[in-house]
Chain A
Amino acid sequence: MPGLIGRKVGMTSIYSAAGKNIPCTIIEAGPCVVTQVKTLEKDGYEAVQLGYGDRKEKRTSQAMKGHFKKAGTSPKRKLAEFKGFDQELALGDEVKIEDIFKEGEYVFVVGKSKGKGFQGVVKRHGFGGVGQATHGQHNRLRAPGSIGAASYPARVFKGMRMAGQMGNVRVTVENLEVLKVMPEDGLIVIKGAVPGHKGSTVLIRK
């Protein structure tokens, strides 16, 4: 699906035509540069690789320098593949926000969620905890409770929800409405929240 790479700027709220206050996320999307065009004959599938953000020359490996030189652009920080663009894209073309997104469309946003560290089951999986502070409870307010039966099956099932690392994973949020496209600033305003902290890279696709 066609899309762009961008960066989360932050959240604010705007008013709809009906006067409702809508929470929204502002994303700086693009301009992206086509760094590679993958074709059925050469790569076995069709896709367009886009690059976004500048990377220092000296922090770029020789191999990647060659890759960017081929496209005729400066080294880029983030590369991602998209497909199904309406327009014909060639190596080195610039893709802008107004080429792809229109107001009222629904998009998917991919980002890396904020890391929460090692969290217990109450925060991580929404368990209720014990729910009682008295009646013999001690140290067990946020405990998970039983994790299975006894001698049969004599093991804990795979996928049992337990404490562990929370956040800092790739998350896709589906069907977010595009409220506004601001081509002069390169910004897109999307209804609702988007994974990641301010300034984190996000992929927006239809």
Chain B
Amino acid sequence: MHLIFGHLEPEVMDKIKDIANKLVEVKNWPAFSAGDTISVSYTIKEGAKERIQTFQGVVIQRRGSGTAETFTIRKMSSSIGVERIFPLSSPFLEEIKMVKRGSVRRARIFYLRELTGKAARIKEKMNFKKK
């Protein structure tokens, strides 16, 4: 790797990403996007003890790219909305399971925060592709 003195080559940002990819491992998760309901298992440490917890909810956004990518999932916990943000590259993530594919029209479905009950349902995505 070499940079020209005085000004930066245009690929410098790519280089930073390359190095970040080398240093941080992003596991192979199933593809999911906003609107999908997923179940995330992650380890939590309580002092010396370690245990696995799951969090199931609707993905309301994915943001960032490469090793810095995060996703936010929202669930209703006894009529109170709870959101959690996970880095995709977090070493604490154990498993991401697809529960339901949702059909939504945008990449960030923040409008879901204002909706409750029946209005907060998301249509399931149907696969009409011929087999």
Chain A residues with CB under 8 Å of chain B are 7, 9-15, 19, 21, 26, 28, 53-54, 77, 180, 182, 185-187, 189, 198-199
Contact = CB atoms under 8 A, between A and B. Distances in A.
Given A13-B68, A28-B1, A199 B12 contact: yes
A10 B5 contact: no
Contacts of A185: 1, 19
11 contacts: A9-B1, A9-B15, A13-B68, A15-B91, A19-B91, A21-B90, A28-B3, A53-B5, A185-B1, A189-B23, A199-B5
Nearest to B2: A28
B23 A9 contact: no
Instruction: Identify the 10 closest CB pairs spanning chains A and B, nearest first.
Output: A10-B16, A12-B20, A199-B8, A14-B23, A19-B91, A15-B91, A14-B24, A53-B5, A77-B5, A26-B19
Interface of B: 1-3, 5-8, 12-13, 15-16, 19-20, 22-24, 67-68, 87, 89-92
A19 B1 contact: no
Contacts of B23: 12, 14, 180, 189
Given A10-B12, A19-B91, A185-B19, 8 more contacts: A10-B13, A11-B16, A12-B24, A12-B67, A15-B90, A28-B2, A28-B3, A182-B22
B23 to A, nearest CB: 5
B74 to A, nearest CB: 22
A77 B90 CA distance: 41
Contacts, number: 60
Given A15-B24, A28-B3, A199-B8, A9 B16 contact: yes
A80 to B, nearest CB: 15
A21 B5 contact: no
Contacts of B68: 12-13
A12 B22 CA distance: 12
A86 B107 CA distance: 56
A7 B13 contact: no
B8 A12 contact: no
Contacts of A21: 87, 90
A5 to B, nearest CB: 12
A187 B20 CA distance: 12
Contacts of A14: 20, 23-24
Contacts of B24: 12-15
A94 to B, nearest CB: 16
A199 B3 contact: yes
A185 B19 CA distance: 9
A12 to B, nearest CB: 4
A199 B7 contact: yes
A182 B15 CA distance: 14
Nearest to B9: A199
A66 to B, nearest CB: 22
